[in-house]
Amino acid sequence: MKNQQSNSRRTFLRNLGASASAMSLPMLGYAGNEVVQNESSGLYSILTDLDRKGSGQPGRKLGIALVGLGYYSTNLLAPALQQTQNCRLAGIVTGTPSKAEEWMKKYNIPKENVYDYKTFDRIADNKDIDVVYVVLPNSMHEEYVVRAAQAGKHVICEKPMAITPKACQNMIDACKKANKQLAVGYRLHYEPFTKEVMRLGQEKVFGAVKFVESSDGFRSGDPNQWRLKKSMAGGGPLMDVGIYAIQGARYVTGEEPISVTAQFAPKTDPVKFKDVEETMFWQFEFPSGAVSNSTTSYASGVERLYASCEKGWFELSPAFGYGPLKGRTSKGPIEMPVVNHQAAHMDGVCKDLLDGKQLPGHVTGEEGLRDVTLLQAIYQAAETGKKLKLKA
């Protein structure tokens, strides 16, 4: 692809000949405009930013700085940022100098866009960076979101937004104070299969949803990872992937739960899981009378979202991973385009930021706070063994 483009540019320059040689390329290709050749006619045309982006759009890609270059940044976000239309990888924040070197080379990141955790606040002076994406262990989200907002940047924060509702509120307040927007890494809200089951449930396409089974778990590896330390993760699988099961029940019903009961499963490896739960279950009741049942686990895999409705059913399985997701209804398969979740998510968020629009409520800090409040309520219900009433 790259080669094709540079070939066509070379052919273009050759074909322009003498008359065009007086024209400088910057005049034609200025400010992000692009010279392209029509494959069938061979004609050249100049694509302006407006052509590419549609009218009323500023036409530039927002610069994103990734904070924390671990698994998710390295394997999912950075590669996705090579495909995005509305944003690009502009900077990095890392405590590991060797990673900084590697990323600068691999992604052509200039030295002045590279920070460590001490120099991070200087990002305020960097006009190349519009959005800070916090991809650190859960307990660190609050500090870096607040610092990013104070540096005058929009923020995307990975899920779970934080480990306490109070921390979420601090993050929301800091972004409001700085007049910056805060999105949570809810990639599935931009994913077509997920959007379809939201529609099927919320528009009652198969009648009212009566019950939902929504579960997410996997077998966790390294016994020394931060995910198994309560102080850093906030809890076990519930904080990590259980949040997807909570989201599933909420976005399929389109309702907020009014009560919760929950149970911890016995630990089969009490040494590895000395600090956090290994497997747990919970049940929500919703205002319409719909109920949901969920499992999350670090002991074994499960990934399923099933809704039983008055006149049929629908399901996704797999439902929450990086895809491709797969879905069926009582009338047949769900056919949807397969997209890169991370690219769709970052492009979706950045499109609204570029357009100067408020982000939709279901991807913002307020949504993150709702989920973290529910995470805490589930733990409380499991610890007390009682049904906990929830505020609407």
Question: Minimal distance in Å, beta carbon 112 to ligand NAD?
Answer: 21
Which range touches ligand NAD (CB under 6 A), out of 33-41, 67-75, 122-130, 195-203?
A: 67-75
Sole binder of ligand NAD in the list 158, 213, 216, 347 (CB under 6 A): 158
When computed from its CA atoms, the radius of gyration of the chain, rounded to whole angstroms, is 24
The single residue listed with the structure tokens 């009566």 is 210
- C-beta closer to ligand NAD: residue 186 or 211: 186
Contacts to ligand NAD from residues 181-220, by CB under 6 A: 185, 187
Question: Minimal distance in Å, beta carbon 136 to ligand NAD?
Answer: 5
Sole binder of ligand NAD in the list 159, 189, 250, 304 (CB under 6 A): 159
296 binds ligand NAD (CB under 6 A): no
Rounded Cα distance, 118 and 279, in Å? 37
Non-local (6+) Cβ contacts of 290 within 8 A are 208, 209, 210, 211, 212, 253, 255
Active site residue 357: no
Q: Are 276 and 303 in contact (CB under 8 A)?
A: no
Question: Minimal distance in Å, beta carbon 306 to ligand NAD?
Answer: 21
The single residue listed with the structure tokens 């077509």 is 192
Which range touches ligand NAD (CB under 6 A), out of 33-41, 71-79, 121-129, 202-210?
A: 71-79
312 binds ligand NAD (CB under 6 A): no
Other residues' Cβ atoms within 10 Å of the Cβ of residue 293: 17
Non-local (6+) Cβ contacts of 281 within 8 A are 262, 263, 265, 293, 294, 295
Give the contact letters, 76-115, x = binds to ligand NAD (CB under 6 A), - = no: -------------------x--------------------
Three-class DSSP category at 364: strand
Q: Which helix (H) or strand (E) holds 281?
A: strand 279-285
Question: Minimal distance in Å, beta carbon 239 to ligand NAD?
Answer: 8
Contacts to ligand NAD from residues 116-145, by CB under 6 A: 135-138
Sole binder of ligand NAD in the list 12, 44, 72, 218 (CB under 6 A): 72
Non-local (6+) Cβ contacts of 336 within 8 A are 192, 193, 196, 327
Rounded Cα distance, 113 and 137, in Å? 22
Contacts to ligand NAD from residues 234-293, by CB under 6 A: 240
Which residue in the list 144, 244, 306, 379 is annotated as catalytic? Answer: 244
Which residue in the list 53, 159, 180, 351 is annotated as catalytic? Answer: 159
- C-beta closer to ligand NAD: residue 135 or 168: 135
- C-beta closer to ligand NAD: residue 44 or 107: 107
Three-class DSSP category at 106: helix
Sole binder of ligand NAD in the list 62, 64, 69, 363 (CB under 6 A): 69
Other residues' Cβ atoms within 10 Å of the Cβ of residue 35: 16
Outline where the chain has alpha helix (H): 2-21, 25-29, 49-53, 71-72, 78-80, 97-107, 141-150, 165-177, 192-202, 230-233, 237, 243-253, 341-354, 365-384
Question: Minimal distance in Å, beta carbon 61 to ligand NAD?
Answer: 21
Non-local (6+) Cβ contacts of 374 within 8 A are 246, 257, 260, 390
Question: Minimal distance in Å, beta carbon 143 to ligand NAD?
Answer: 10
71 binds ligand NAD (CB under 6 A): yes
The single residue listed with the structure tokens 């800070």 is 132
- C-beta closer to ligand NAD: residue 226 or 264: 226
Sole binder of ligand NAD in the list 63, 68, 217, 318 (CB under 6 A): 68
Question: Minimal distance in Å, beta carbon 157 to ligand NAD?
Answer: 8
Outline where 161-209 has alpha helix (H): 165-177, 192-202
Question: Minimal distance in Å, beta carbon 198 to ligand NAD?
Answer: 17
Residue nearest to ligand NAD (CB): 70
Q: List, in sequence order, every beta strand (DSSP E) within 41-172.
A: 44-47, 62-67, 87-93, 114-115, 131-134, 154-157
Active site residue 159: yes
By annotation, the residues acting in catalysis are 159, 244
Q: Which residues bind ligand NAD (CB under 6 A)?
A: 68-73, 95, 135-138, 158-159, 185, 187, 226, 240
